Amino acid sequence: MNKKGLRVRVLIGTSLAVLLPCLTQASAPSDTAIGEIDAILKFCVKTNPGLEESARAWQVVLTGKAAPSARASAQYKQGYDLVSEALEKANWAEVSAACIAGLEPAKSHEARHGHEPEREHEPEHGRR
């Protein structure tokens, strides 16, 4: 992985790490943080349109307590623009991989490796 790819993963990871503690507090995330997370999620959907539903769900979870006016603030725009510019300069393949890793539903070990779990107690049809 090159330095730019590492920076993208650090950027996405750091932004999410900053916002997650907000979920445990009664207060809403800052306008800047909302702009950053919106930029990340929008970029993830841009690189992987199939992640739209998951991105929308994360947006609600991470920014749900925000005031409706937050997205109209200068701080929101600053955070959004800063992250958007950084992501536009990044390696799309690496950003896409980071988005998929962060937004796709977790798969079981077996599904990741192309195996179906064995069924130990499958009912036998026709026997009583």
Residue 122 has pLDDT above 60, yes or no: no
Distance CA 105, CA 54 (A): 8
Q: Is the model's pLDDT at 26 over the cut of 50?
A: yes
pTM of the model: 0.65
The 10s digit of each residue's pLDDT in 35-94 is 999 999 999 999 999 999 999 998 988 888 788 899 999 999 999 999 999 998 888 888
Domain positions in the chain: 3-105
pLDDT band at 117 (very low <50, low <70, confident <90, very high): very low
The per-residue pLDDT for 64 is 82
